Amino acid sequence: MMRLRSLFLALAVTLAACGGAAADTGTSARPDLPETSADEFEAHLATIDRPAVVNVWASWCLPCRAEAPLLNTAFDEYGGQIEFIGVDVTDNQADAKDFLDEFGLDFDHFFDRDREVPNFYAGIGTPITFFFGPGGELISTHNGVLDDRTLALNIDELLSLDQ
Protein backbone atom coordinates (compact mmCIF):
# COMPACT_ATOMS: atom_id res chain seq x y z
CA MET A 1 0.00 0.00 0.00
CA MET A 2 2.84 2.36 0.92
CA ARG A 3 4.44 1.56 -2.39
CA LEU A 4 1.24 2.45 -4.21
CA ARG A 5 1.00 5.75 -2.33
CA SER A 6 4.60 6.57 -3.19
CA LEU A 7 3.86 5.79 -6.81
CA PHE A 8 0.87 8.15 -6.87
CA LEU A 9 2.91 10.86 -5.13
CA ALA A 10 5.71 10.49 -7.67
CA LEU A 11 3.17 10.64 -10.49
CA ALA A 12 1.58 13.79 -9.06
CA VAL A 13 4.97 15.51 -8.72
CA THR A 14 5.89 14.49 -12.26
CA LEU A 15 2.58 15.77 -13.63
CA ALA A 16 3.04 19.07 -11.85
CA ALA A 17 6.55 19.42 -13.20
CA CYS A 18 5.70 18.48 -16.77
CA GLY A 19 2.86 20.93 -17.34
CA GLY A 20 3.50 23.67 -19.84
CA ALA A 21 3.72 27.02 -18.15
CA ALA A 22 0.95 29.33 -19.21
CA ALA A 23 1.88 32.85 -20.18
CA ASP A 24 1.48 35.39 -17.39
CA THR A 25 -1.73 37.34 -17.63
CA GLY A 26 -1.44 40.57 -19.54
CA THR A 27 2.16 40.27 -20.72
CA SER A 28 1.53 39.86 -24.44
CA ALA A 29 3.07 42.29 -26.88
CA ARG A 30 0.37 41.62 -29.46
CA PRO A 31 -1.88 44.45 -30.57
CA ASP A 32 -5.48 44.29 -29.29
CA LEU A 33 -7.81 42.07 -31.29
CA PRO A 34 -10.10 44.15 -33.54
CA GLU A 35 -13.60 44.38 -32.10
CA THR A 36 -16.50 43.27 -34.26
CA SER A 37 -20.29 43.16 -34.25
CA ALA A 38 -22.46 40.58 -35.97
CA ASP A 39 -23.21 42.92 -38.87
CA GLU A 40 -19.56 43.84 -39.35
CA PHE A 41 -18.53 40.21 -39.23
CA GLU A 42 -21.17 39.18 -41.77
CA ALA A 43 -20.00 41.96 -44.06
CA HIS A 44 -16.40 40.81 -43.65
CA LEU A 45 -17.28 37.23 -44.58
CA ALA A 46 -19.11 38.45 -47.67
CA THR A 47 -15.83 39.87 -48.99
CA ILE A 48 -14.01 36.53 -48.74
CA ASP A 49 -14.10 34.62 -52.00
CA ARG A 50 -13.07 31.25 -50.58
CA PRO A 51 -14.52 28.94 -47.90
CA ALA A 52 -14.00 29.90 -44.29
CA VAL A 53 -13.68 28.07 -40.98
CA VAL A 54 -14.74 30.35 -38.14
CA ASN A 55 -13.78 29.14 -34.68
CA VAL A 56 -15.45 30.76 -31.68
CA TRP A 57 -13.22 30.57 -28.61
CA ALA A 58 -12.42 32.20 -25.28
CA SER A 59 -9.35 32.18 -23.07
CA TRP A 60 -11.36 30.81 -20.11
CA CYS A 61 -12.75 27.94 -22.19
CA LEU A 62 -11.01 24.63 -21.37
CA PRO A 63 -12.24 22.76 -24.46
CA CYS A 64 -10.86 25.62 -26.58
CA ARG A 65 -7.40 24.76 -25.26
CA ALA A 66 -7.94 21.15 -26.25
CA GLU A 67 -8.88 21.90 -29.84
CA ALA A 68 -6.29 24.64 -30.44
CA PRO A 69 -3.49 22.26 -31.57
CA LEU A 70 -5.84 20.63 -34.09
CA LEU A 71 -6.79 24.03 -35.48
CA ASN A 72 -3.11 24.89 -35.83
CA THR A 73 -2.49 21.68 -37.77
CA ALA A 74 -5.52 22.31 -39.99
CA PHE A 75 -4.41 25.89 -40.64
CA ASP A 76 -0.93 24.72 -41.59
CA GLU A 77 -2.38 22.21 -44.03
CA TYR A 78 -5.38 24.07 -45.47
CA GLY A 79 -4.62 27.73 -44.79
CA GLY A 80 -3.82 28.23 -48.48
CA GLN A 81 -7.27 27.06 -49.60
CA ILE A 82 -9.51 28.02 -46.72
CA GLU A 83 -9.77 31.17 -44.64
CA PHE A 84 -9.40 30.50 -40.92
CA ILE A 85 -10.86 33.09 -38.58
CA GLY A 86 -11.07 33.15 -34.80
CA VAL A 87 -13.74 34.97 -32.82
CA ASP A 88 -12.92 35.52 -29.16
CA VAL A 89 -16.11 35.91 -27.12
CA THR A 90 -17.02 37.16 -23.62
CA ASP A 91 -13.37 37.68 -22.81
CA ASN A 92 -10.86 40.43 -22.11
CA GLN A 93 -8.10 41.54 -24.42
CA ALA A 94 -5.22 40.67 -22.09
CA ASP A 95 -6.30 37.08 -21.49
CA ALA A 96 -7.19 36.64 -25.15
CA LYS A 97 -3.73 37.73 -26.27
CA ASP A 98 -2.07 35.48 -23.70
CA PHE A 99 -4.12 32.59 -25.05
CA LEU A 100 -2.94 33.30 -28.59
CA ASP A 101 0.65 33.60 -27.39
CA GLU A 102 0.34 30.20 -25.75
CA PHE A 103 -1.34 28.35 -28.60
CA GLY A 104 -0.22 30.15 -31.73
CA LEU A 105 -3.37 30.09 -33.85
CA ASP A 106 -1.62 32.27 -36.38
CA PHE A 107 -4.65 33.49 -38.29
CA ASP A 108 -6.98 36.50 -38.03
CA HIS A 109 -8.97 36.88 -34.82
CA PHE A 110 -11.79 39.20 -33.83
CA PHE A 111 -12.94 40.30 -30.40
CA ASP A 112 -16.66 39.92 -29.67
CA ARG A 113 -17.32 40.83 -26.06
CA ASP A 114 -21.10 40.32 -26.24
CA ARG A 115 -21.19 37.07 -28.27
CA GLU A 116 -23.01 38.79 -31.10
CA VAL A 117 -21.39 36.69 -33.82
CA PRO A 118 -22.22 33.18 -32.47
CA ASN A 119 -25.70 34.36 -31.46
CA PHE A 120 -26.31 35.72 -34.95
CA TYR A 121 -25.44 32.35 -36.49
CA ALA A 122 -27.36 30.42 -33.80
CA GLY A 123 -24.32 28.73 -32.28
CA ILE A 124 -24.62 27.23 -28.82
CA GLY A 125 -21.95 27.39 -26.09
CA THR A 126 -18.18 27.72 -26.50
CA PRO A 127 -16.33 26.55 -28.50
CA ILE A 128 -18.27 26.56 -31.75
CA THR A 129 -16.97 26.14 -35.28
CA PHE A 130 -18.88 27.52 -38.25
CA PHE A 131 -18.13 26.37 -41.77
CA PHE A 132 -18.87 28.95 -44.47
CA GLY A 133 -18.88 28.75 -48.23
CA PRO A 134 -17.32 31.53 -50.37
CA GLY A 135 -19.10 34.82 -49.76
CA GLY A 136 -20.22 33.90 -46.26
CA GLU A 137 -22.92 31.28 -46.86
CA LEU A 138 -23.23 29.22 -43.67
CA ILE A 139 -22.81 25.54 -44.58
CA SER A 140 -22.67 23.82 -41.21
CA THR A 141 -22.15 24.43 -37.51
CA HIS A 142 -20.33 22.30 -34.98
CA ASN A 143 -21.23 23.14 -31.38
CA GLY A 144 -18.66 21.84 -28.90
CA VAL A 145 -15.07 20.66 -29.11
CA LEU A 146 -13.72 19.78 -32.52
CA ASP A 147 -12.20 16.39 -33.17
CA ASP A 148 -9.95 15.42 -36.05
CA ARG A 149 -12.68 13.59 -37.98
CA THR A 150 -15.31 16.33 -37.67
CA LEU A 151 -12.93 19.06 -38.76
CA ALA A 152 -11.52 16.98 -41.64
CA LEU A 153 -14.98 15.99 -42.86
CA ASN A 154 -16.29 19.55 -42.84
CA ILE A 155 -13.17 20.91 -44.52
CA ASP A 156 -13.61 18.23 -47.17
CA GLU A 157 -17.19 19.46 -47.69
CA LEU A 158 -15.95 23.04 -48.03
CA LEU A 159 -13.26 22.09 -50.52
CA SER A 160 -15.82 20.19 -52.58
CA LEU A 161 -17.96 23.32 -52.69
CA ASP A 162 -15.05 25.30 -53.95
CA GLN A 163 -14.44 23.00 -56.96
Partner 1 sequence: MEFTLLWAALTGVVFAWIGTKIWSEGLPDHPADRMIGAAAGGLLIGRLTEMFLQGINPITNPLDILIVRGGVHTGMASLGAVTAYLWSAKWNLRYLDATAPAALFGLAGWHAGCVWRGACLGTESAHPWAWAQDGSAITRHPVELYAALGFVIAAFVVAKLSSALLVRTGTALALAGLIRLATEPMRPSITGGPVGWYMGAIVVGLVIAAVGARLIEQRIPQPT
User: Where does this chain bind partner 1 (CB under 8 A)?
Assistant: 12, 15-16, 18-20, 22, 62-63, 65-67, 69-70, 73-74, 77, 124-125, 139-140, 142-145, 147-153, 155-157, 160
Cis, peptide link before residue 127, omega less than 30° from 0: yes
CB of 147 to partner 1, least distance (A): 6
Between 47 and 160, CB nearer to partner 1:
160
Between 67 and 83, CB nearer to partner 1:
67
CB of 19 to partner 1, least distance (A): 2
CB of 67 to partner 1, least distance (A): 7
Between 36 and 82, CB nearer to partner 1:
82
Between 87 and 151, CB nearer to partner 1:
151
Long-range contacts of 115-121 (CB under 8 A, 24+ apart): 115/89, 115/90, 116/36, 116/37, 116/38, 116/41, 117/36, 117/38, 117/41, 117/54, 117/56, 117/87, 117/89, 118/56, 118/87, 118/89, 119/38, 120/38, 120/41, 120/42
